[in-house]
């Protein structure tokens, strides 16, 4: 009787333990599927919001810097290609000005060069393209701010 009682409790405990394991596995796989959802794969996820696109640009820019720093050309080339694709999707948000189009074209040209230099495992060439690309990011933002927001009064 006492043994049966013990066995029942043991079984109950086992069920709880299994349940908890399943639950935490589900939580982990949910978390990692969310992580993969953040992976920039334009084909699966049509991108809508400019903010999201730009955050992805930043994410890729950081991966590129990391890749260059560690001399890992694969991630550099992949992120440069992704930036190129994002720029094509983001064309929808372009300001209708000649200057903005110039920044955009420059961005696409530089991401292409960067990808090609990385694929050729040319570290210096890739580094140079990335410096130019970073300047392009900042210059376009400067331009957009001047276009959309009057400058603050001098202090």
- Positions touching ligand HEC (CB under 6 A) are 50-51, 54-55, 57-58, 61, 83, 100, 103-104, 107, 133, 136-137, 140-141, 144
Q: Which residues contact 35 (CB under 8 A, 6 or more apart)?
A: none
CB of 53 to ligand HEC, least distance (A): 8
Torsion, Cα 93 143 150 147, to 10 degrees, reads: -40
Nearer residue to ligand HEC within complex by CB, 125 or 143: 143
The answer to whether the CB of 84 falls within 8 A of the CB of 112 is yes
CB of 55 to ligand HEC, least distance (A): 6
Nearer residue to ligand HEC within complex by CB, 73 or 107: 107
User: Around Cβ 68, how many Cβ atoms within 10 Å?
Assistant: 20
Nearer residue to ligand HEC within complex by CB, 60 or 73: 60
How many angstroms separate the CA atoms of 86 and 93, rounded?
11
Nearer residue to ligand HEC within complex by CB, 11 or 102: 102
Q: Give the position of tokens 């372009």.
A: 94
CB of 107 to ligand HEC, least distance (A): 4
Q: Give the position of tokens 């983001």.
A: 90
CB of 7 to ligand HEC, least distance (A): 59
């Amino acid at each position: 009787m006492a043994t049966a009682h013990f066995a029942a409790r043991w079984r109950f405990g086992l069920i709880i333990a299994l349940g908890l394991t399943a639950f935490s596995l589900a939580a982990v796989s949910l978390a990692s599927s969310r992580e993969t959802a953040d992976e920039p794969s334009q084909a699966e996820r049509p991108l809508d919001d400019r903010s999201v696109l730009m955050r992805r640009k930043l994410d890729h820019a950081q991966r590129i810097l990391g890749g260059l720093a560690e001399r890992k050309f694969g991630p550099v080339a992949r992120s440069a290609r992704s930036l190129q694709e994002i720029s094509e999707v983001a064309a929808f948000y372009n300001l209708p000005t000649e200057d903005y189009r110039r920044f955009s074209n420059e961005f696409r040209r530089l991401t292409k060069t960067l990808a090609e230099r990385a694929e050729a495992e040319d570290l210096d060439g890739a580094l140079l393209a990335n410096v130019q690309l970073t300047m392009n990011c900042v210059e376009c933002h400067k331009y957009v701010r001047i276009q959309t927001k009057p400058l603050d009064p001098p202090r």
